[in-house]
Amino acid sequence: MTTDGNTEPSEINQPQVFRPRRRANTYYHNLYLTLDEDPAIQTYFEGIKGRRRNRGYLSSDTALCAHEAMRRFLEYLELPITDHSYSDLIAEKRNNPSSQRIDNKPRLTDDGN
């Protein structure tokens, strides 16, 4: 800047370094990478890609929504998030179809109890 407050043309054209406004949340990102290793999740995503209107494409928004729902469901069941969590749930239900362990999970009321 000059002493009178005006900027010189050489100062205006200087490239600025990009600084992200917030840090990426690597904790959830790592959880989603772990979930992606589950064969049941891979089959689910392949099914979405295989639909005619998707033409083999899985959008990032679809993947993010699916990851969020899967993470919340495992947290609701108080199960650890591993690379075989959903495969284990599917196998458990197939081996014991009359089991209501997941369905009988106590629901929270409006007051949080």
Token pair 């406004």 is at which residue?
Answer: 21
Task: Enter the DSSP assignment of 111.
Answer: T
87 touches 40 (CB < 8 A): yes
Mean pLDDT computed over 21-35: 76
pLDDT at 9: 58
pLDDT tens per residue, range 92-107:
888 988 888 777 765 5
- Residue 58, number of CB atoms within 10 A of its CB: 13
- pTM attached to this predicted model: 0.65
> Residue 50 and residue 18: Cα distance in Å, rounded?
38
Buried b (16+ CB within 10 A) or exposed e, 29-53: eebbebbeebebbeeeeeeeeeeee
